[in-house]
Amino acid sequence: MNIVGISACTVGIAHTYIAQEKIEAAAKKAGDTVKIETQGTIGIENPLTEEDIAKADIVLLAVDVQIAGEERFNGKKVVKVPTQTAIKSPNKLIAKLHELAGK
């Protein structure tokens, strides 16, 4: 399955990047392709391209704040969770994404 997403926390430092790392590791463990854009205090890193989004089976938003560019995902299956969910239960989260995407 092809997963894209965004991680962003209220402070824009630790949880943003921890969530990204946990999601990527869990997705790779499940055999998925994954790309997570971070929106932290230093701006947007690892930005998602139109092609990334077009190829995605599902979009994961692990966010605690309003994010930039959410409209890019119109027409896609989007799952929004707090960063804590991605950090504490990344494997269960990826399994749930598979269930929701029917993959």
Question: Helix, strand, coil shares of the chain as percentages rounded to 5?
Answer: 45, 25, 30
Tell me the angle at which helices 90-101 and 14-29 cross, rounded to the nearest 10 degrees.
Answer: 60
Residue with tokens 């890193």: 45
The catalytic residue among 9, 34, 36, 81 is: 9
Establish whether 9 is a catalytic residue. Answer: yes
Q: How far apart are CA 63 and CA 72, in angstroms?
A: 16
The tokens of 84 are what?
């804590």
C-alpha 36/C-alpha 47 separation (Å) is 8
Catalytic amino acids? 9
